[in-house]
Structure 1
Amino acid sequence: MPQSKRPNSKKERRLENEKLILSAAEKVFAEAGFGGATMQLIADMAGLPKANLHYYFPTKESLYRQVVQNIFQTWLQAADIFDAAEGPEEGIGAYIDAKMEISRRHPAGSKVWASEVMHRAPVIQDYLETTLMEWTDGRAKIIDRWISEGRMAPINPRHLLYMLWATTQHYADFGHQIETLNGGEALTDAQWEDAKTSIKQIILRGIGATG
């Protein structure tokens, strides 16, 4: 019996170490940027020997790309209900809820993405030109379909997507500013719910997608 459990235990340790490393890397990259971050800083944040980092991620760039891909994959999953929804009120409403929760629970990852793009994506430009381009084209087609079905006002779908990203990710990327304007306190559960409701009302009414 003990022998049969060893592979599982080893796998669990590996997954736990990867999780620790990626969580620490998010924080360090968010605070120091790609150029200022070092594998030693990330190892110290994770509480692991530096050699462990190089075992799982041979280079700083490979670790950085994984952090960026993880936040993007999380955003992609948030769009699943968007893709399956019958109309914009359900789809965009659920997308806003999901993106706001990601900003609340993964602010560091969002900041890493924002910093990378603001510096003209020196590490992930290929990712923007392929994965992000394909995803955006696909969502734009869904919005165009809703427009053609008369479910929302005729607007440029790309500008709607940019507005959704900017609004929801603001709560992660400018979290300190929001806390400052909130009396130096993090938003409470009730305030987060109010923010979601307000954003949905403003955007859905603006595109003529509310009943």
Structure 2
Amino acid sequence: MQGFKRYCSFVILILLLTGCAGVEKDKTSSNAKITIEPYNMSEKESLLISKSGVGNIEFFKLNGTLTEEDDLQISVEVFEKGKFKEELLKTWDDPEKNYKDILISFGISDFNDEVRPLKLISGIPSGLATTNYSNNMTSSSFSNLVGEKVTLKKNKPVYLAAWLGTTKNELRSVGSENGELPAGIEEAELSFLYRVLWTDKEKN
């Protein structure tokens, strides 16, 4: 009987310790917060960008703190007639967890022909990622999808900017209030959407 009581006490102790650890983990996770807002360039900065060969670019400020179990993924999603095709320039597992006025950006080069395809440019906290994308689009539009500060919600993507292309004579620009997937991309033959996602860190 005495042994049974000791066993019960041991089980209760383990449950209490497990519960405390879970509460502590939830508390730590709840302390994580990330915000993104547009960065408005000065006239001089805009002039410098215009000399770089980048036709369209949008900058955003990143602020907040993540836990060691969190991850911030940044990528460019490709859509054809509104249907997801692939993900480009994906970055993740950034060792930095504290962001203070960190600039990120998405840009498209001026060029788009057989000799010089479109160049996608993704400015990330740790540097720059680029890739070329060949296509036959003849008209395009570029839109900022976030007009003010947005607080990220875990596992919910935020779309910051969009490039839309078509071979037709007309193409309307798209918009979004808080970074949701914009309506109207199904009208474009090709779309690039700059996406940020706060999620759990992938375990090896």
Same fold (TM over 0.5): no
Q: Which has the higher helix share?
A: 1
Question: What is the TM-score when the length of structure 1 is the normalising length?
Answer: 0.28
Q: Which has the higher strand share?
A: 2
